[in-house]
Chain A
């Protein structure tokens, strides 16, 4: 599993997959615990992402050199 690069969407899909895998059963305790542990990592990453507040709000500016972006404030 590529750690940092996963988007929230990918993580949510992965989490659902792990849940379904565990629900399907047919796994021994070791495999089940492995899935559970992987799921904890993804779950925590998802929760952390939702609490993130440092997002960019930018404005497009047109200059002689073309369009650029700059931080947007009211």
Chain B
């Protein structure tokens, strides 16, 4: 036995065999397109499958440009080409040179039937779409816990808005996927979430079948909260995308639909604040205008005007007052003249003269009366004087009478005042004589 082949040697032998076997060259294969991928180079990769088997196909750019219809997953086609073996990778495939549609695939037929049914039920109607809450506090996500979908959603929301996230893990491909997704949706509905994102993510990008499953579509339609679908791509929208309240081409886009952008919110706050400031400024300006108005009214010029005004008013009052005083003065004057008339000097002089005359008369009468009285009194005095002269003791003595005084000078008129031996003085008309009493004899 020969020495063992290297892998390369083996692959080269297979490659040589495949490329020279007419049995599998320049033939037609009919099958349903699946795992359709358009490479940026222009080459198209897909698989053709029937109920039991799959074969990988390559449609090189120069051939792809000759295909006149739009390739779609699920589409049944007849491909012309040859088997090929890629020696380096050890992979077998079919190089397609030209293609033609070959009626509809079974999956395609089933999908169209389901779509028609759901359409007739109105599940895709725009009126059914619910609004995504503007400010969610809690977002539920149904997707694979391992894919990029959940990572993109978490990263995007973290950048945009503070919100809690609850992941409800689901298998998104394989035969269990539909039941797993429905279960994950139902579980999430027990939580107080504001919005739900259902995303594909993970595994091969081709397998949309779970998101075209009737049970999944109905679970989304019946969901208690609005659902954002992030399943398909622009070219092949799934039924989930159509039934959901919002549809996003990528998980990142779904997260952006689910959350507001804090930059925008800050802008909104700032713009509200600008309005606030403007309004407050208007209020303060209003106050200022009022103050200015008052201030103006209190300005020196206005004050002078006000004073002038008051002055004019005062002058008016003054004139009126003058008039009143004039009137009062006139009245007083008239009254005075009346009294003045009554108190006329000429008449007064007459009155005075009259009184004077009367007084003069009275005075003359009085003089006469006094004169008369004085004369009478003078006569009386003369008469009395004469009578008094007749009573002068000296005159009596001259008529031969004498009187006796004691040593003390007292006139003695009774013998009772004398004792024998008493010295007495006898007064006579032309002198005195001292005598001593010898004997007393009382009249009987």
**Which A residues lie at the B interface, using CB under 8 A?**
7-9, 12, 15-16, 18-19, 22-23, 25, 27, 29, 32-33, 36, 39, 43, 46-47, 49-53, 55-60, 62, 67, 69, 72, 74
Q: Which residues of A contact B134 (CB under 8 A)?
A: 9
Q: Which residues of A contact B272 (CB under 8 A)?
A: 15-16, 19, 43
Are B262 and A50 interface neighbours, CB within 8 A? yes
Q: How far is the CB of B396 from chain A (nearest CB, A)?
A: 134
A56 CA / B273 CA spacing, docked (Å): 31
New A-B contacts (8) at CB < 8 Å, excluding given A15-B272, A32-B279: A8-B135, A25-B282, A33-B280, A50-B262, A56-B165, A57-B164, A60-B187, A60-B188
- B164: which of A22, A50, A55 is its contact (CB, 8 Å)? A55
Q: How far is the CB of B157 from chain A (nearest CB, A)?
A: 8
Q: Which residues of B contact A49 (CB under 8 A)?
A: 162
A17 CA / B145 CA spacing, docked (Å): 42
Are A25 and B135 interface neighbours, CB within 8 A? no
Are A67 and B135 interface neighbours, CB within 8 A? no
> Does residue B307 face the partner (Cβ distance < 8 Å to A)?
no
Closest 7 CB pairs of A and B: A9-B135, A22-B279, A50-B262, A52-B162, A56-B164, A32-B283, A60-B168
Q: Which residues of A contact B268 (CB under 8 A)?
A: 12
A52 CA / B262 CA spacing, docked (Å): 11
Are A19 and B275 interface neighbours, CB within 8 A? yes
Give residues of chain B (264-311) contacting chain A, Cβ–Cβ below 8 Å. Answer: 265-266, 268-269, 272-273, 275-276, 279-280, 282-284, 287
Which residue, of A19, A23, A36, A52, has the highest number of chain B Cβ atoms within 10 A?
A19
Give residues of chain B (140-183) contacting chain A, Cβ–Cβ below 8 Å. Answer: 145, 150-151, 154, 158, 161-169
Are A43 and B163 interface neighbours, CB within 8 A? no
Q: How many A-B residue pairs have CB under 8 A?
A: 92
Q: Which residues of A contact B158 (CB under 8 A)?
A: 53, 55
Are A29 and B266 interface neighbours, CB within 8 A? no
Q: Which residue of A lies closest to B184 (CB)?
A: A60
> Does residue B190 face the partner (Cβ distance < 8 Å to A)?
yes
Mask for B179-207, Cβ within 8 A of A = 1, else 0?
00000100110100000000000000000
Q: Which residues of B contact A7 (CB under 8 A)?
A: 135, 137
A52 CA / B282 CA spacing, docked (Å): 34
Are A29 and B283 interface neighbours, CB within 8 A? yes
- A50: which of B162, B184, B273, B282 is its contact (CB, 8 Å)? B162
28 chain-A/chain-B pairs, Cβ below 8 angstroms = A12-B135, A12-B268, A19-B279, A22-B275, A22-B279, A22-B283, A25-B279, A27-B283, A29-B283, A29-B284, A32-B280, A32-B283, A43-B273, A46-B269, A47-B266, A50-B161, A53-B158, A55-B162, A57-B154, A57-B164, A58-B165, A58-B166, A58-B167, A59-B145, A59-B166, A60-B167, A60-B169, A69-B166
Q: Which residue of B lies closest to A50 (CB)?
A: B262
Given A50-B262, A72-B145, A74-B151, A55-B280 contact (CB < 8 Å): no
Which residue, of A32, A59, A60, has the highest number of chain B Cβ atoms within 10 A?
A60
A36 CA / B283 CA spacing, docked (Å): 11
Q: Which residues of A contact B275 (CB under 8 A)?
A: 19, 22-23
Q: How far is the CB of B315 from chain A (nearest CB, A)?
A: 42
Are B276 and A29 interface neighbours, CB within 8 A? no
Q: Which residues of A contact B168 (CB under 8 A)?
A: 59-60
Are B161 and A36 interface neighbours, CB within 8 A? no
Q: Which residues of A contact B269 (CB under 8 A)?
A: 12, 15, 43, 46-47
Are A39 and B279 interface neighbours, CB within 8 A? no
Given A19-B279, A69-B166, A29-B287 contact (CB < 8 Å): yes
Q: Which residues of A contact B188 (CB under 8 A)?
A: 60
Q: Which residue of B lies closest to A9 (CB)?
A: B135
- A36: which of B169, B190, B265, B276 is its contact (CB, 8 Å)? B276
Q: How far is the CB of B185 from chain A (nearest CB, A)?
A: 11
Q: How far is the CB of B436 from chain A (nearest CB, A)?
A: 142
Q: Which residues of A contact B166 (CB under 8 A)?
A: 58-60, 69
A23 CA / B145 CA spacing, docked (Å): 50
Q: How far is the CB of A62 from chain B (nearest CB, A)?
A: 8
- A22: which of B165, B190, B266, B276 is its contact (CB, 8 Å)? B276
Q: How far is the CB of B385 from chain A (nearest CB, A)?
A: 122
A60 CA / B150 CA spacing, docked (Å): 13
Q: Which residues of A contact B283 (CB under 8 A)?
A: 22, 25, 27, 29, 32
Q: Which residue of A lies closest to B262 (CB)?
A: A50
A74 CA / B201 CA spacing, docked (Å): 14
A65 CA / B137 CA spacing, docked (Å): 27
A22 CA / B278 CA spacing, docked (Å): 9
Q: Which residues of B contact A59 (CB under 8 A)?
A: 145, 166-169
